[in-house]
Structure 1
Amino acid sequence: MVKEAVEEARKAASEAADELAGDQDKAEASEDGYGGPDAADTDSADTDGTDGSADSSMDEDSAEDDKAGKKVKKFGKKPKKDKKDEKIEELTDRLTRQMAEFDNFRKRTDKEKSQMYEIGAKDIIEKILPVVDNFERGLDAASEEEKENPFVQGMDKIYKQLMTTLEEIGVKPIEAVGQEFNPDFHNAVMHVDDEALGENIIAEEFQKGYMYRDSVVRHSMVKVAN
Structure 2
Amino acid sequence: MSNKNQNQKVEEELKNQQHTDKNAQAAAESQEAEAQKAQEKGEEEKELTAEEKLEKELEEAQKVIDEQKDKYLRLSAEFDNFRKRTIKEKAELIKNGGEKAINAVLPVLDDLERALQNMQKAEDVKAIYDGVELIYQKFLKNLHQEGLEKMEPIGQDFDTDYHEAIALVPASSEDQKGKILDCVQTGYKLNEKVIRHAKVVVAQ
TM-score if structure 2 supplies the norm length?
A: 0.55
What amino acid maps onto 1:158 in structure 2? Answer: I
Structure 1 runs of 4+ aligned residues shifted over 4 Å read: 14-20, 29-33, 82-86, 101-118
Aligned to 1:176: 153
Question: Are residue 207 (structure 1) and residue 185 (structure 2) matched?
Answer: yes
In percent, how many aligned pairs have the same letter? 22
Aligned to 1:220: 198
What amino acid maps onto 2:141 in structure 1? Answer: T
**Counterpart contact for 1:197–1:225, Cα < 8 Å:** no
Aligned to 1:23: 21
Instruction: Give the Cα–Cα distance (whole angstroms) in 1 for the partners of residues 164 and 147 of structure 2.
Output: 22
Instruction: Give the Cα–Cα distance (whole angstroms) in 2 for the partners of residues 223 and 74 of structure 1.
Output: 89
* Superposition deviation, residue 20 in structure 1: 4.8
* Superposition deviation, residue 95 in structure 1: 1.1
Instruction: Give the Cα–Cα distance (whole angstroms) in 2 for the partners of residues 178 and 218 of structure 1.
Output: 19
What amino acid maps onto 1:155 in structure 2? Answer: V
* Superposition deviation, residue 185 in structure 1: 1.5
Q: 1:93 to 1:81 in 2, by over 3 A?
A: same
Aligned to 1:155: 132
Q: Deviation string for 1:58-86 (max 9, x for gaps)?
A: xxxxxxxxxxxx89x969x8352386764
What amino acid maps onto 2:186 in structure 1? Answer: K
* Superposition deviation, residue 168 in structure 1: 1.1
Question: Are residue 188 (structure 1) and residue 158 (structure 2) matched?
Answer: no
Q: Secondary structure of 2:154's match?
A: coil
What amino acid maps onto 1:149 in structure 2? Answer: K
Name whichever of 80-89 and 105-114 sits farther off: 105-114
Mapping 1:122-161, distance limit 5 Å: 149-161=126-138
- Root-mean-square deviation over aligned CA pairs: 4.5
Q: Deviation string for 1:155-214 (max 9, x for gaps)?
A: 111111111111111111123111121222211001122125444221111111112223
* Superposition deviation, residue 99 in structure 1: 2.6
Q: Deviation string for 1:46-66 (max 9, x for gaps)?
A: xxxxxxxxxxxxxxxxxxxxx
Q: 1:109 to 1:163 in 2, by over 3 A?
A: same
What amino acid maps onto 2:185 in structure 1? Answer: Q
Q: Which runs of 5+ in 1 are unaligned?
A: 1-13, 34-69, 129-134, 136-145
Instruction: Give the Cα–Cα distance (whole angstroms) in 2 for the partners of residues 92 and 212 of structure 1.
Output: 45
| Matched length | 154
Q: Secondary structure of 1:81's match?
A: helix
Instruction: Give the Cα–Cα distance (whole angstroms) in 2 for the partners of residues 113 and 25 of structure 1.
Output: 102
What amino acid maps onto 1:182 in structure 2? Answer: D
What amino acid maps onto 1:215 in structure 2? Answer: K
Q: Which runs of 5+ in 2 are unaligned?
A: 1-11, 32-48, 106-111, 113-122
TM-score if structure 1 supplies the norm length?
A: 0.50
Aligned to 1:3: none
